[in-house]
Amino acid sequence: MREPAARPLPADDDALLTPSLTAADDAVGFDRPWNPWSLVMLVFFAGPLFGGVLAARNFVRLGQPERSAPAIGLFVAIWLAILGVQLASTFDRLDERQAGRTVPVQVSRIELPDRDGAGETVGLGGGAGGRMRDHDADADASRIRRLAYRVAGLIPAFFVARAQRRRFRVFEGAGGEPAPLLKLGILLVVASFVAHAAIAAGATFVHELLARR
């Protein structure tokens, strides 16, 4: 007697039998990676150069060294772009300070009655008050720029953390403990502050040399 031909499995059953695990799910190649979301915070405080490069190097600790170099290139490119904007802004402020230009201050006038009942017009504004307002406006603009620089480095750090999330979960699922980041993070934040201070001082020095010529 002839046996009936085997019926093909439905498409849904084929999907169930298809392996869903990839090489990214293998619990091998780990070297005590850092928590990717902690690295996002580090990028916010230390910047895309010091914090971002460390976040990119975390791919190596997660067993994916081939993804480290492109991430490093991305963070370095963002840092160079931010540095260019900072230097241009610094030179502009130094030029304005050297030329003695100030923001015009609108003078308000009020009318005060005198003893005879006649009105006397009194002018207000300008002088030290105007300079104070100019200084406050510059300080506000500087804070906004610094926040924009931090956000510019934070966006790629967020996507890098998302790319590392799956491997880090595999590492934690295998019972691994992430590497400590506190001391290294503080060191990188201090190094970032010193580097930016040195760059600002260097920009001022170069500007003064160019102004003397």
- pLDDT tens digits, one per residue of 11-52: 555 555 555 545 555 667 799 999 999 999 999 999 999 999
Of 26-30, 55-59, 125-129, 174-178, which gets the smallest average pLDDT?
125-129
In terms of average pLDDT, the best of 2-11, 34-43, 113-122 is: 34-43
**Separation of alpha carbons 203 and 85, rounded Å:** 12
pLDDT top residue among 110 and 7: 7
* Cβ neighbours, 10 Å, residue 63: 18
**Separation of alpha carbons 130 and 126, rounded Å:** 5
